[in-house]
Amino acid sequence: MNQSNNRSVALYAAEGGVIAALYVVLTLISNAFGLANGAVQVRISEALTILPAFAPAAIPGLFVGCILSNTFTGAILPDIIFGSIATLIAAFATRALRNKSRFLLPVPPILANTIVVPLILKYAYHIDGALIYMMLTVFAGEFISCGILGMLIYPIIERIDI
């Protein structure tokens, strides 16, 4: 590898690391207020799920951030694995939508979490209740986090060269 490629790899890794760290910190803040886990989750960190539209390094950054956040907040192994995979899939989909309407960017994480998280709650945590109800509550939290908060930070991120 030449020096330019080394610099590109280092920059990519640094961007991903900063995004992962920011995701963890924001999740821990949400967790301190009781918002990071459970049927209704309003993780402030989920607003960052629009970042793959701006930087490809956000894809591994969000994935690693989700793994670490779920671990630090006491999630069980199926939650750590499948919740993080949902975030990874959503990040790739968000990246794919980057040249479409900006209002589509929060759709992949909202959908991925609306489908995956209730299944985790029901079958990994054995939470009683209707699956459709859990899907509605997760959707509500994700809509607030990704749809509203994500769209509020969009113009700020758009101005930053990441």
Please say whether the dihedral angle defined by the alpha carbons of residues 33, 34, 39 and 45, taken in this order, is positive or negative. positive
**pLDDT tens digits for 39-83?**
677 999 999 999 999 999 999 999 999 999 999 999 999 999 999
Quick one: residue 113, left, alpha or beta (phi over 0 = left, psi -120 to 50 = alpha)?
A: alpha
Please say whether the dihedral angle defined by the alpha carbons of residues 130, 132, 134 and 136, taken in this order, is positive or negative. negative
Please provide residue 106's backbone torsions phi and psi, each rounded to the nearest 5 degrees. -80, -10
The percentage of residues in the chain with a pLDDT greater than 70, rounded to a whole number, is 94
Our count of domains for the chain comes to 1
pLDDT value, residue 17: 98
| In the predicted structure, residue 3 carries a pLDDT above the cut 80 | no
Alpha-helical runs (H) found in 1-57: 3-32
- Would you place residue 1 in the very low, low, confident or very high pLDDT band (cuts 50, 70, 90)? low
Domain of residue 85: give its range: 3-159
pLDDT value, residue 162: 67
Separation CA 93–CA 22 (nearest Å): 21
Q: Indicate the pTM of the whole model.
A: 0.91
Mean pLDDT score across all residues of the chain:
93
Nearest one of 103, 39, 94, 104 to 61, comparing CA atoms: 94
pLDDT value, residue 6: 75
